[in-house]
Chains A and B, each alone.
Chain A
Amino acid sequence: MIQSDRTAENAVGKAAQNTATHGTELRRTGATRRFAAILLAKQASFWSRALGRGGGEALPGLLAERVAPQILGQLAGRLPHGSVVVTGTNGKTTSSLAISFILEGAGLRVLRNRGGSNLSRGLVSALVQSSRVTRPYPGEDIGLFEVDEATMPQVMQQVTPRVILVTNLFRDQLDRYGEIDKTAALIREGIAAAPDATLVLNADDPAVAALGLDRSRTLYFGLESEEVSARSELAIDSSDCPRCGHALTFHRRYFSHIGLFLCPACGFSRPPCQVCAQSVSLGPNGLSATISYRGRGEQLETSLSGLYNLYNMLAALAVAQALDIPAPTALRGLAAMRPAFGRLERFSRNGRQGVIHLVKNPTGFNQVIENVSAWQKRPVALVCLNDNLADGTDISWIWDVDFRPLVTAFPVLVLSGIRARELEVRLKYAGAGSEQTVVEADLGRALDQALELAAPGESLDILTTYTAMLDLRARLVRSGELREYWRGEAIS
């Protein structure tokens, strides 16, 4: 579906490009089209919210693109400070949020696409919502766009960013995009369209680091720590050299295929990095690290926990360095940051605190498990697995997740979601006893049950796939325990 859609949009876009060269008459038609597109999208956005169909992130963009196929490039091109594009498998949303806090702290008004709407229509929606019919361009200073990996070629036909951040490349939603090599090829195709942009790359991810070969403007971020090393051998997604295909060796592996790598055949190795974390301390309620930023050592403190969030913070700092933002401004931005949608969001009920952890793929799941299992013992955790389109309809990836630390850490695991029964088998084969797992397919009842099992004053970790997270959030918003996302987040 996505494939054919993209081809159709490309075809429309190319046709429009050809027509646009024919003179002012048609260019005026272009302006009229843009005007009509903005008007239409605004109405769609109003109605989709009024009818309670969520934040209206996709439909307005979809309509606007149909009316004015070049609208993405036209509107993005009007942002005075240009734009930053964020792509990669994991950490797009959290690192974008971190970047937006930094940019806002630097006095810039930031335009973002939100709520995981990272196909081109999501970007267009954000742009048209910020534009007015009387002022047909966005009112912000700089654009910050999360872009789905597979959409990179299409988006980059129209948007010419100053900075492109690639966070990492893991296996994700296999039934939609196929395989990690193909994803890397799509990103490569996208960035080739912007030869002047600064590439901000994860030095510790071989497939991402390789994107910087043959590029002049690159900035690498990474970790050089003696305190951190991988526990699990599972979910190593990319163990071959992206340049020559030989098996890589790791001097140090932090998690999955992230670490200090070297190809013994062709010599491709983990590049030196400009934004680098050296001394790392991970805790249940946050993390701290010493980070080299613009050649100086700085102290990072954040309330986000988990090694994966350190990478998100490093990515944000590297983008800040690419934009010449001074260290105090960048670090203040990170300290002020609140969690992203469904990522370490917290709520409380009857003296218990719930913490939502979104899980999308084996590496992300392993990282969350490592994070929630590492600290003091708690009585219960809730794990939810759905297999709707946005979760990935193929659930086989849970067999690449190492659940053993979770089984060791929690005496009771409440399992829910459409595929709760598959989770039950998975946990049995990870060593869970027959009394240790409780299946309650209904998400609301599972949440109630898990919260009751948590002792007052304790926290309940909720590990959930995307659509189960949306469902749980919606319930919590209805009961007033969580704020609604698109209303709570200021769209300036």
Chain B
Amino acid sequence: MTQPPLRIYHLFPRHMNLYGDLGNIIALTMRLQWRGLAFEVIGVNPGDRPDFGRADLLFMGGGQDRGQKLVAAYLETMGPDIRREVNDGLPALAVCGGYQLFGHYFHTYEGDTLPGISVFDAHTEGGSRRLVGNMVAELSNAAALWASTEERAGESAELRTLVGFENHSGLTFLHEGTPALAKVLVGSGNAGDGCSEGALYRNAIGTYLHGSLLPKNPHVADHLLSVALRRRGYAGLPLAPLDDQVELRAHAAALERARTAHTAHLFES
């Protein structure tokens, strides 16, 4: 039985691809390929009129200020469609600049207000300093619910931490309707206060973590894929486990580096 290809909609790949965001697409597609599952990556660019009803997974990365400003208006027109599908369970991952635009609005430090698409009940305020560094966060209870038995795909499903790198000046504040994705263990996180990181609404994930996020957090990659496949009625769940030794070692190394890097850099400078 051949499955129709899983359709990954990559939002604004030309403008929102700053911090190795492509790594997330590479991780998703390779993990499908290794399982013998077909996929298709559809780039959505300014001026396109995509049919989000056909999307199985959404991804949006971060961008330069100019790029983010430019795409905000285009994204806004797609907002109602995206919100409708996310409410219907469409999995999505929005990183950094994309995450900011998935909230209600981004009020920049320069005084502009970029419209958001209100997938997350959250807003972002521009800050005066950049929050830069390795980050470790622990998945919140809400997020830990993912690993329902039907999703367990090998050892990496046991991971409860997220590792990556943050680089943002915007501070994101979550409101009542959206719980945090994770609790910061090392780093600054959403509001720069070292408390919460990222947002979770239904199957949509927002986060400041790049690095890229998905290759060394394979549990998140497999969660997104599992949800996408389940929504499509794929019968082969749980996903066949992959040999994730390399990914798990990178996860552990990033965790270790985050804990030591701060002091290391103090000595270096």
Contact = CB atoms under 8 A, between A and B. Distances in A.
Interface in A227-286: 234, 239-240, 245, 247
B247 interface: yes
Interface in A1-33: 1
Contacts of A239: 14
Contacts of B130: 178
A327 interface: no
Contact of A247 (B14, B27, B132, B254): B14
Contacts, number: 99
Contact of A400 (B22, B70, B165, B246): B22
B211 A393 contact: no
Interface stretch (A105-113, A304-312, A369-377, A414-422): A414-422
Interface string A377-397: 000000000011100011111
Given A1-B269, A181-B66, A388-B264, A396 B257 contact: no
B183 interface: no
A388 B265 CA distance: 7
Nearest to B31: A429
A338 interface: no
Contacts of A474: none
B20 A399 contact: yes
A399 B167 CA distance: 16
A240 B12 CA distance: 13
A422 B250 contact: yes
Contact of A429 (B17, B27, B254, B264): B27
B89 interface: no
Contacts of A180: 64
Contact of A399 (B23, B247, B265): B23
B130 to A, nearest CB: 8
Interface in B210-269: 210-212, 215-216, 243, 246-247, 249-250, 252-254, 257, 261, 264-265, 268-269
Contacts of B249: 421, 424
B265 A393 contact: yes
A78 interface: no
A428 B246 contact: yes
A178 B132 CA distance: 11
Contacts of A179: 18, 64-65
A400 B210 CA distance: 12
Interface string A398-420: 11100000000000000000111
A343 interface: no
- Sorting the interface of chain B by its residue count into under 10, 10 to 19, 20 to 34 or 35 or more gives 35 or more
A175 interface: yes
A418 B258 CA distance: 12
A394 B19 contact: yes
B247 A425 contact: yes
With most chain B CB atoms within 10 A of its CB, the pick from A174, A394, A425 is: A425
Interface in A175-223: 175, 178-181
Contacts of A429: 23, 26-27, 30, 215
Contact of A393 (B15, B133, B246): B133
A396 B264 CA distance: 19
Interface in B144-195: 165, 167
Contact of B20 (A240, A245, A397): A397
B70 A245 contact: yes
A475 interface: no
A434 B246 CA distance: 9
Given A394-B19, A424-B246, A429-B26, A389 B269 contact: yes
Contacts of A388: 264-265, 268
Contacts of B17: 400
B246 A175 contact: no
Nearest to A180: B64
Contacts of B64: 179-181
Nearest to B17: A400
A162 interface: no
B134 interface: yes
Given A179-B65, A387-B261, A394 B167 contact: yes
Contacts of A393: 132-134, 165, 261, 265
A422 B167 contact: no
B117 to A, nearest CB: 22
A426 interface: yes
Given A171-B18, A179-B18, A425-B246, 7 more contacts: A175-B165, A180-B64, A240-B15, A245-B70, A389-B269, A393-B261, A428-B247
27 contacts: A1-B269, A171-B18, A174-B19, A174-B167, A175-B132, A175-B165, A178-B130, A240-B14, A245-B66, A387-B257, A393-B265, A394-B19, A395-B165, A396-B211, A397-B19, A398-B20, A399-B21, A399-B22, A399-B26, A400-B20, A418-B257, A422-B253, A424-B249, A425-B246, A425-B247, A428-B247, A429-B27
Chain A to chain B: the 8 pairs with minimum beta-carbon distance, closest first: A399-B23, A396-B20, A399-B20, A421-B253, A179-B64, A425-B250, A396-B19, A421-B250
